[in-house]
Amino acid sequence: MSEPVQLIIRQARIVDGSGAPAYDGELAVAGDRIAAVGPRGSVPAVPGATELDAGGRVLAPGFIDIHTHYDPQLCWDRLATPTPEHGVTSIVMGNCSIGMAPVRPGHRRKLVSLFGSVEDMESALLERTVPFAWESVAEYLAWQGRELGPNVGVLVGHAVLRLYVMGDAAQQRAATDDEIARMAALLEEALRAGALGLSFSFAHLDEAGHELPCHHADRRERLALLQAIARAGRGVVEVAPQLLNPDEGLRQLDEFGALSLETGVMVSLSPLLQSRGRREAWRELLARFEHWQARGAKLFAQTQVRPLDFTIRLSQGSAILAKMPGWRALLDLPVAERVRRFSDEAVRQALQLEIDTAPGMAGLAGTFVVKRAMGPANRALEGRRVREIAEERGRSFTDTLLDIALADGLETEFNQAVAHTDAAIVGDLLDHPAVHIGSADAGAHITQFSGAGDSGLLFERYVRERGRLTLERAVQRLTSDLAGAWGLRQRGALRPGWFADLVLFDAATIGRGEEVWADDLPGGSGRYVRGARGIEAVWVNGQLLVEGGRYTDARPGRIV
């Protein structure tokens, strides 16, 4: 080790990420690497090195979040807050077919609109904060790689790649042989520059309610892109399948299982959730993942720890309601105009018709609950389902939802728990070898939930409260299982010579804080965030990034 040892952590409970039993031990850091790790007394003192007494707390590899959308936020927040506070040292962004490069100057507004629509973010915020000081992926990685807090892996969005090569035709037709070749060459170039892989989405719509470019690609295009990854010797694929149509989602799963088998590329499909409407659907899907893995495919599901729930204020919007074009158009209006249109009887009838006829929406509407009223008119409704209130009043769901919201100036908070609410089933998925922990969407849908905090919830709910996973297994699921499959080399385990991404936490108290609103975005807008409990310190590449919930001045993160 060429660098001198600068830090020794003693009196730690070492959980090394491999799944092996914890032990009392110590660890030394030299430069950005782990110099030594072993049982108590195995690491000698080094003159000039800082010594830290861990006090019996757990020392583990830094956690990994494979499914974030911090692409625009990193343009104004190099820390990707609040994710590092939760012990996360490496994030992956560019998921769900949407990213920020490559981009032609004439496509910048379209890219902002796509990201705003797919990830449910205000386009005006993105226009204010994303500088587009790049065109190619290499230029983008160089720009984003400066002064990072956590490590960042960047997927190239298929929608973005297709738009760059095909322009408007990306959402109109299949690609020609020449266009496919150009996409494959650009992808290989991006991978050589340091991109982590490619992402697809069949589950989202653009700002006009049209299907994303992925829907217009055929299998030969998808095969050519996975072959490009295989040739590069680096890269993974993330896919958001069509879940509102289970048969179509299953077909896409099978196609990517076959593509993975044919090319040897790791493919991760997100999300696999326990659903309220089709309670056993997850079993059928999981069986297909097992089928493809048994055949040799590197095919994994992604699942999240928390329930898929939203806090909805109609002053901000709704990812679920916005999947219907009429609702989307109204939720894009200024609030004052929204109020006026939501009061119109004909508009309400049209909105209710959309809910009645759109696949799956009538069932999803039944999950709306009044979470918090802003004034006395709705206070007695807190905790009640909107559909039950509608039945009592003899009104439609839409009339009732809008009546309640308008009484609070559209600021009423509604909760919508869409899926993943059965903790027993979720626990089984979190521990399954065909499943990776991801799908949390940190950095996206920021006016409806905070995607940060799943790491703490895993220990709080599934280790301490339910005993479904051991401490060692939970750490393994957040570290080496992900690093190995996703190609984050020399990360995810406490081994000499590997990168010193570390988290020190109290196993008895680690958890996630309450979701709170923070008006901390550029231009004065806000988002939901969560703090962490029980995280004592976080190191990235050997440098202290978070201590006692506060960020240091270090910016040690890298593109990985």
What's the pLDDT tens digit per position in 282-301? 898 999 999 999 999 999 99
**Residue 192, C-beta contacts closer than 8 angstroms, at least 6 positions apart:** 232
Cβ atoms of residues 432 and 383 within 8 Å: no
CA angle 239/275/284 to nearest 5° reads 65
Give per-residue burial for 439-460: e unless 16+ CB within 10 Å, then b: bbbbbbbbbbbbbbbbbbbbbb
> Can you give the pLDDT at residue 320?
82
Spatial distance between the Cα atoms of 405 and 548, rounded to a whole number of angstroms: 39
**Residue 344, C-beta contacts closer than 8 angstroms, at least 6 positions apart:** none
Domains belonging to the chain, first-starting first, are 5-61+498-551 (2.30.40.10), 96-234 (3.20.20.140), 310-417 (no CATH)
Give a three-class secondary structure readout of 216-240: HCCHHHHHHHHHHHHHHCCCEEEEE
Please give the C-alpha separations between residue 226 and each of 160, 198, 256, 314, 386, in angstroms, as whole numbers.
Answer: 16, 9, 10, 41, 46
Burial label for 170, CB within 10 Å (0-12, 13-18, 19+), is buried
Helix (H, G, I), strand (E, B) or coil at 512: strand
> Can you give the pLDDT at residue 316?
87
Burial label for 211, CB within 10 Å (0-12, 13-18, 19+), is middle
Tens-digit pLDDT profile for residues 313-357:
999 888 788 888 899 889 889 999 999 999 999 999 999 999 999
Please give the C-alpha separations between residue 139 and each of 74, 103, 143, 190, 482, in angstroms, as whole numbers.
Answer: 15, 11, 6, 10, 27
Cβ atoms of residues 449 and 308 within 8 Å: no
> Can you give the pLDDT at residue 120?
83
Spatial distance between the Cα atoms of 113 and 346, rounded to a whole number of angstroms: 29
> Can you give the pLDDT at residue 25?
98
Q: Which residues of the chain, if any, have pLDDT below 70?
A: 1, 244, 276-279
Spatial distance between the Cα atoms of 328 and 458, rounded to a whole number of angstroms: 34
Amino acid at 154: V
CB 383: neighbour CB atoms within 10 A?
Answer: 10
> Can you give the pLDDT at residue 277?
62
